[in-house]
Amino acid sequence: MAKGIYKKTFMAPLGKDNPVFVQILGICSTLAVTNRLDNTLVMSLGVIFTLALSSFTISIMRSWIPSRIRMMVETMVIATFVIIVDITLKAFYPEMWKSLGPYVGLIITNCIVMGRIEAFALQNKPSLSLVDGIASGIGYAYVLLIIAFVRELMGTGTLFGFTILGDWWTSWAIMIMPPGGFFMLAIFIWIAKEAFMKEATS
Give contact residues for another protein (rule: CB under 8 A).
35-36, 39, 64-66, 68-69, 72-73, 76-77, 79-80, 83-84, 87-88, 90-92, 94, 98-99, 101, 155-156, 173, 176-177
Q: Would you say 19 or 62 has its CB closer to another protein?
A: 62
Query: What is the crossing angle of helices 37-61 and 126-156, to 10°?
Result: 170
Residue number, 12 or 28, with CB nearest to another protein:
28
Among residues 4 and 102, whose Cβ is nearest to another protein? 102
DSSP H helical ranges for the chain: 2-11, 27-33, 37-61, 70-92, 94-100, 111-116, 126-156, 173-176, 178-196, 198-201
CB of 28 to another protein, least distance (A): 15
Q: How far is the CB of 143 from another protein (least distance, A)?
A: 19
- Cβ proximity to another protein: between 107 and 138 the closer is 107
Alpha-carbon distance of 7 to 132, in angstroms, equals 10
Q: Give least dist CB 105 to another protein, A.
A: 13
**Whole-number minimum distance, CB 94 to another protein, in Å?**
4
Contact 163, 53 (CB under 8 A): no
Q: Rounded distance, CA 136 to CA 26, Å?
A: 11
Query: Please, what is the minimum distance in Å from the beta carbon of residue 64 to another protein?
Result: 7
Whether 46 and 104 have beta carbons less than 8 Å apart is answered as: yes
Report the distance separating Cα 126 and Cα 130, nearest Å: 6
Is the Cβ of residue 16 or residue 94 nearer to another protein in the bound state?
A: 94
